[in-house]
């Protein structure tokens, strides 16, 4: 049983590494047209454990769908370093669906932009690279980002778009057919405080 689990882990490690190298090569020889959309609407985030709704500590340590965390830093990909991301949802319903099963107390917050934000609309960027949507939607080993030890294609894409500018990424939710996931490029906690005002909402 243990040997089988190790084989699955290293098989996925190799597959993810090969996909990452291939995608990096493709990005270096192709380009995306700018498709930044303006965003002024509130987004929504569920917080557990009494954490600050603008905290990015988890994304820095473990990484996330569109950002590389400390868990993915390694010598095979020396040009990629951990960078924070603040993840939110386009509606209350989407926030709860993205959060999954919630244990213990939690709070629902609205994140209200203080100025117009400019977000990369990934729905427009999916066509050029073969099977890009399924690669973006794929999850790490055991669906735990801390177990991901090489950058995934979605994380590399997030790093690439961050370098090109804008405030973040908007992408169709994988758990709510009517919702969107928002991933804001974050330098640190103070940076997010400059961009958003937060308000605690009543529980549904």
Confidence of residue 203 (pLDDT cuts 50, 70, 90): low
For 45, the 3-state DSSP assignment is: strand
| Cβ neighbours for 166, distance < 8 A, ≥ 6 positions apart | 36, 118, 119, 120, 185
* pTM (two decimals): 0.91
The pLDDT tens digits of the residues spanning 105-154 come to 889 999 999 999 999 998 887 667 778 888 898 888 888 899 999 999 99
Q: 54: closest CA among 165, 204, 199? A: 199
The pLDDT tens digits of the residues spanning 69-115 come to 999 998 889 999 999 999 999 999 999 999 887 777 889 999 999 99
**Which ranges of 30-152 would DSSP assign to H, the alpha helix?**
57-62, 92-99, 122-125, 132-137
For 93, the 3-state DSSP assignment is: helix
| Cβ neighbours for 40, distance < 8 A, ≥ 6 positions apart | 113, 116, 117
């Amino acid at each position: 049983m243990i040997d089988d689990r190790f084989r699955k882990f290293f098989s996925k490690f190799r597959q993810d590494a090969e996909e990452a190298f291939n995608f990096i090569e493709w990005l270096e020889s192709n380009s995306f047209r700018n498709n930044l959309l303006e965003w002024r609407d509130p987004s929504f985030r569920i917080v557990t454990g009494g954490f600050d709704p603008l905290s990015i500590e988890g994304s820095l340590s473990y990484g996330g769908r569109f950002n590389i965390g400390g868990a993915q830093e390694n010598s095979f990909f020396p040009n990629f370093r951990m960078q924070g991301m603040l993840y939110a949802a386009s509606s209350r319903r989407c926030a709860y669906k993205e959060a999954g099963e919630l244990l213990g107390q939690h709070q629902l917050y609205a994140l209200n932009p203080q100025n117009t934000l400019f977000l990369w609309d990934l729905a427009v960027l999916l066509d050029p690279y073969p099977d890009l949507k399924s690669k973006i939607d794929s999850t790490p080993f055991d669906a735990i980002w801390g177990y991901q030890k090489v950058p995934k294609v979605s994380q590399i894409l997030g790093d690439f778009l961050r370098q090109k500018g804008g405030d973040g990424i908007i992408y169709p939710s994988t758990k709510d057919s009517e919702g969107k996931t928002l991933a804001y490029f974050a330098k640190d906690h103070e940076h997010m405080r400059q961009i958003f005002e937060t308000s605690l909402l009543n529980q549904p």
